[in-house]
Homo-oligomer: A and B are copies of this chain.
């Protein structure tokens, strides 16, 4: 794998490298880690890369890598830049024949995202978007149970994503805060783009249902911040289910408390990202059950949950493992393709460009809804 972005001090690039490395299936072989070529080199050294595989720009990288023999050149590129750079890099990668793993939100506009979906389709290249939270085994278990009809017809979905780290004006001081609140780098949405898009992805992934109409209220609470830092949305789903989503970066004292509650005619599920190895399964007339991640829980966990689990029950798996599931499934998918095999979409499941496009459309609809006086705005 090659990497664009993710130089020294970058949070998410480091996570991508750890996630990719963990299972011994993926090797970082090259990168363009920083706009500043000197910093890029410095980073490459830290990652034990040979100097000639550390590039000044992504354009250079794609041009050079393309010329290397198969088996030596990178198989895919991991894009971990600020949001506004996702699109040009991903486009160039696809045009040069490289598979792509891209950070979310996939692009800055749904138009760009649509272009990438089309390009991926034309080239036949794989494109993953790191909506990390669907990588957790218990999220896959929840999806499996709902698909399987264990909850009956779904009626209500509550998805919540409170964070508190932007309660004060960190932008200008803290790098992570600066670009995420700058429309030029982050795109048109703040909290909505950064974490609301994860919430939407999680809700549609688990339920298997499309959100068809929304009513949104975006707010900026911290003075002088140009993007929203608080999101409240009423949801209507295609099958008649209703619900709410809220996400915020001004929920003072909260860490990264993504959680979801889904209720159907026959039961409910509850999952908290802070406690990701537990899935609460609720029933109408008998005690709630506590499902737990574990390679020794094959007696009741689905194949998909088991496939994305590494250790026995009670040995906590965390965020990096969820991330690594995306990389591992992506790598295995590429492996299948190389060997002419058909990858199992159930087992080697990861969020694709289509999910990324869906996310961009949802973000844009939330902004539109928040700006208009109409009660319900359809999500296309």
- Could you tell me which A residues sit within 8 Å of B by CB distance? 11, 14-15, 17-18, 21-24, 28, 47-48, 151, 155-156, 158, 160, 162-165, 167-168, 215, 217, 219, 221, 230, 232-236, 240, 242-244, 246, 248, 250-257, 261, 263-268, 273-276, 281-292, 294, 296, 299-300, 310-321, 372-376
Contact = CB atoms under 8 A, between A and B. Distances in A.
A252 B263 contact: yes
Contact of A244 (B14, B17, B232): B232
A137 B190 CA distance: 31
B24 A47 contact: yes
Contact of A23 (B18, B162, B317): B18
B319 A315 contact: yes
Nearest to A257: B314
Contact of A18 (B160, B310, B314): B310
A256 B314 contact: yes
Given A230-B155, A244-B244, A284-B167, A22 B320 contact: yes
Work out how many copies of this chain go into the complex.
Answer: 4
A368 to B, nearest CB: 12
20 contacts: A155-B230, A156-B248, A156-B251, A158-B160, A164-B284, A168-B265, A217-B242, A232-B243, A252-B264, A255-B294, A255-B315, A273-B314, A274-B314, A275-B275, A281-B287, A287-B291, A316-B318, A318-B318, A318-B320, A320-B320
A252 B288 CA distance: 11
Contacts of A263: 162, 164, 167, 248, 250-254
Contacts of A275: 275, 316
Contact of A234 (B167, B215, B287): B215
Given A286-B300, A300-B286, A24 B21 contact: yes
Contacts of A248: 156, 263
B316 A274 contact: yes
Contact of A318 (B18, B158, B256, B321): B321
A228 to B, nearest CB: 11
A215 B377 CA distance: 13
A85 B256 CA distance: 44
Given A24-B28, A316-B319, A289 B287 contact: yes
Contacts of A319: 311, 315-317
B312 A299 contact: no
A332 B288 CA distance: 33
B17 A24 contact: yes
A261 B217 CA distance: 18
Contacts of A321: 318, 320
A235 to B, nearest CB: 8
Contacts of A21: 21-24
A296 B251 contact: no
Contacts of A15: 310-311
A23 to B, nearest CB: 6
Instruction: List the 8 closest A-B pairs by CB distance, nearest first.
Output: A253-B282, A255-B314, A256-B314, A316-B318, A318-B318, A315-B319, A255-B313, A287-B289
Nearest to A319: B315
Nearest to A279: B287
A257 B89 CA distance: 46
A215 B235 CA distance: 12
Contact of A265 (B252, B274, B283): B252
B253 A284 contact: yes
